[in-house]
């Protein structure tokens, strides 16, 4: 009799199947009972993970094992995210610190945490020049390094076989000019090491999707062109590759304008695209204006991903700002994430949730409608309406400036969209209705515009050929000048 194969991390396949069947029965029964008692409620999702999943996407965070014991860290992770990437625990120096000796404990803790909460796991990363165990760099021949690399991939992937949705097989193999980085793998093995790693990985865990991951390949440039060539070549020759990871380490205000086009061109090659390490840094201490721009930038990235069906997963590189890698790597920069040092939701959180189609579950304690808006005198507002169009759609970033001398508390901006235009999603405001005369109302965190200050909102829309702009704007009933 054949023994039931046992999962390397201890779960029997039979036990897992039994659990699945029982869960299915219980869920079906629950569905029947719920169907009798109540009709399913229709409401917008109120967490990043739930909103993303309604769009068929995963919204994950990089997680550090040493923070998992901190209550607000774990509860924010558990509440908001549907995916995890171990931030350092699967890197070579941690997981195979001495040749053939694997240290799976730290990564196992994250994997167990994720699995018990049904989160999807990205494996990061198998072959990378950085955070590499010292013994690997000491290997002097290509043959010996190929053997060590294959053993590493086999050892790590076998341990997590069936657990990982996407594996970053090779990380950061290119220079900015598109040439190969002169890592120890490149130097000892040569150009073929990437292909060897992917072939080894496919055999080690055929259920995992295999990714090439890099930074500064978010827009179209020499480096992303080189990755594009690599993926095209792999696809043409049947070398296994399933995904490209765009790390998405951005500077506030500097999201490449062609990010969606870049995601699309990779998707067109027949691979998934993941945004794998999203963060948007700024000089610290953070200014209110930069936090607002950051919110707009997060929405831009999310919208670019949502616009491409094969962009399946977005991962932010950390949970609260205080644990981000940015301040120690880029001195003077920080505040790049969605939660501040005290786990408060930042404007970027709200814009991200809105872009994902969700709405905040904690409305402002004083909703904007309950405080009578202060009507600015005529001409006390100025609107900038910046459009970025493509054949069937466009995005618009609107800046509303208070040019008067008193603060605006609670606002609604009214404008009329040209015919054929319809809003599909927006950020930093609620938009109603989607076409015709639209009213954009402030959300909880941007109702006040101090004298001389401005706030940014925006939306994505479809059009049927007419890419004209609204002729006029009124803020709380008063006409605005248009910049």
Active site residues: 172, 277
Shortest distance in whole angstroms from residue 420 CB to ligand XIL: 43
Burial category of 388 from C-beta neighbours within 10 Å (exposed 0-12, middle 13-18, buried 19 and up): middle
Shortest distance in whole angstroms from residue 126 CB to ligand XIL: 12
Q: Which residue has the tokens 């194969």?
A: 5
**Alpha helices per DSSP H over 127-269:** 134-137, 142-159, 184-189, 193-204, 222-237, 259-268
Q: Residue 171's beta-bridge partner residues?
A: 213
Shortest distance in whole angstroms from residue 64 CB to ligand XIL: 7
The residues in 126-155 that bind ligand XIL, with binding defined as CB under 6 A, are none
171 belongs to the binding site for ligand XIL (CB under 6 A):
yes
Residue with the CB atom nearest ligand XIL in the bound state? 325
DSSP 432: E
Q: Which two tokens stand for residue 411?
A: 């606002």
89 belongs to the binding site for ligand XIL (CB under 6 A):
no
Shortest distance in whole angstroms from residue 91 CB to ligand XIL: 7
Shortest distance in whole angstroms from residue 274 CB to ligand XIL: 12
Q: 302 and 357 in contact (C-beta within 8 Å)?
A: no
Sign of CA dihedral 202, 148, 141, 89: positive
The helix/strand/coil state of 148 is: helix
The residues in 213-232 that bind ligand XIL, with binding defined as CB under 6 A, are 215
Q: Which two tokens stand for residue 368?
A: 């904007």
Shortest distance in whole angstroms from residue 233 CB to ligand XIL: 23
CA dist., res. 62 & res. 337, Å (int): 11
- Please say which residue, 218 or 277, places its beta carbon nearer to ligand XIL: 277
Which one among 60, 77, 83, 87 touches ligand XIL, defined by CB under 6 A?
A: 87
Q: Which letter, b or e, does each residue of 195-211 get, where b requires 16 or more Cβ atoms within 10 Å of its Cβ?
A: bbbbbbbbebbeebbbb
CA dist., res. 250 & res. 210, Å (int): 24
Shortest distance in whole angstroms from residue 27 CB to ligand XIL: 37
CA dist., res. 342 & res. 306, Å (int): 29
CA dist., res. 331 & res. 227, Å (int): 29
Sign of CA dihedral 46, 243, 305, 323: positive
What are the two backbone dihedrals, phi and then psi, of residue 224, each rounded to the nearest 5 degrees?
-70, -30
- Please say which residue, 171 or 396, places its beta carbon nearer to ligand XIL: 171
The residues in 39-68 that bind ligand XIL, with binding defined as CB under 6 A, are none
Q: Which two tokens stand for residue 360?
A: 């905040």
Fill in the per-residue mask, 253 to 292: x = in contact with ligand XIL (CB under 6 A), - = not in contact.
Answer: ------------------------x---------------
Which one among 58, 82, 88, 425 touches ligand XIL, defined by CB under 6 A?
A: 88
Shortest distance in whole angstroms from residue 115 CB to ligand XIL: 22
- Please say which residue, 80 or 168, places its beta carbon nearer to ligand XIL: 168
- Please say which residue, 50 or 337, places its beta carbon nearer to ligand XIL: 337
- Please say which residue, 92 or 473, places its beta carbon nearer to ligand XIL: 92
The helix/strand/coil state of 262 is: helix
Q: Who's near 419: CB < 8 A, 6+ residues apart? A: 466
CA dist., res. 172 & res. 169, Å (int): 10
315 belongs to the binding site for ligand XIL (CB under 6 A):
no
Count CB-CB contacts under 10 A for residue 277: 23
- Please say which residue, 215 or 445, places its beta carbon nearer to ligand XIL: 215
- Please say which residue, 266 or 325, places its beta carbon nearer to ligand XIL: 325
> Under rule CB under 6 A, how many of the chain's residues touch ligand XIL?
7
325 belongs to the binding site for ligand XIL (CB under 6 A):
yes
User: Would you state the torsion angle of the CA atoms of residues 401, 406, 410, 414, taken in this order, to the nearest 10 degrees?
Assistant: -50
- Please say which residue, 128 or 415, places its beta carbon nearer to ligand XIL: 128
Footprint of ligand XIL (CB under 6 A): 87-88, 171, 215, 247, 277, 325
């Amino acid at each position: 009799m054949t023994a039931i194969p046992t999962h390397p991390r201890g779960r029997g396949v039979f036990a897992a199947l039994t659990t699945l069947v029982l869960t299915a029965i219980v869920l079906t029964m629950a569905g029947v009972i719920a169907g009798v008692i109540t009709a399913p409620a229709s409401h917008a999702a109120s967490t990043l993970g739930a909103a993303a999943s309604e769009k068929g996407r995963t919204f994950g965070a990089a997680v550090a094992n040493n923070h998992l014991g901190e209550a607000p860290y774990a509860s924010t992770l558990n509440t908001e995210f549907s995916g995890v990437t171990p931030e350092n625990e699967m890197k070579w120096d941690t997981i195979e610190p001495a040749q053939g000796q694997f240290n799976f404990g730290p990564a196992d803790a994250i994997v167990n945490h994720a699995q018990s909460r049904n989160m999807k796991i990205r494996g990061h990363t198998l072959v990378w020049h950085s955070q590499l165990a010292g013994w690997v760099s000491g290997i002097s021949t290509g043959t010996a390094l190929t053997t060590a690399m294959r053993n590493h991939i086999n050892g790590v992937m076998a341990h997590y076989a069936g657990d990982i949705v996407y594996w970053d097989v090779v990380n950061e193999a290119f220079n900015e000019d598109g040439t190969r980085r002169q890592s120890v793998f490149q130097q000892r093995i040569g150009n073929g090491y990437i292909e060897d790693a992917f072939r080894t990985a496919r055999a080690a865990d055929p259920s995992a999707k295999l990714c090439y991951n890099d930074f500064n390949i978010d827009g179209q440039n020499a480096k992303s062109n080189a990755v594009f060539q690599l993926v095209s070549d792999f696809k043409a020759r049947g070398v296994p590759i399933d995904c490209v990871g765009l790390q998405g380490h951005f500077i506030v205000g500097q999201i490449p304008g062609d990010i969606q086009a870049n995601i699309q061109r990779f998707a067109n090659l027949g691979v998934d695209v993941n945004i794998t390490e999203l963060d948007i840094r700024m000089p610290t201490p953070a200014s209110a204006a930069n936090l607002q721009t950051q919110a707009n930038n997060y929405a831009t990235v999310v919208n670019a991903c949502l616009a491409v069906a094969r962009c399946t997963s977005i991962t932010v590189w950390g949970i609260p700002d205080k644990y981000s890698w940015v301040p120690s790597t880029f001195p003077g920069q920080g505040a790049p994430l969605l939660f501040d040092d005290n786990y408060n939701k930042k404007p970027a959180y709200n814009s991200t949730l809105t872009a994902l189609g969700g709405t905040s579950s904690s409305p402002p304690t004083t909703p904007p409608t309950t405080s009578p808006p202060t009507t600015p005198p005529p001409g006390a507002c100025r609107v900038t309406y910046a459009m970025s169009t493509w054949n069937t759609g466009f995005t618009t970033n609107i800046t509303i400036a208070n040019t008067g001398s008193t603060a605006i508390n609670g606002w609604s901006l009214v404008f009329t969209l040209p015919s054929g235009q319809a809003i599909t999603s927006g950020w930093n405001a609620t938009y109603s209705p989607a076409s015709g005369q639209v009213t954009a109302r402030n959300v909880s965190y941007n109702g006040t515009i101090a004298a001389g200050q401005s706030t940014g909102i925006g939306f994505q829309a479809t059009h049927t050929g007419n890419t004209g702009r609204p002729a006029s704007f009124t803020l709380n009933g008063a006409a605005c000048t248009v910049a």
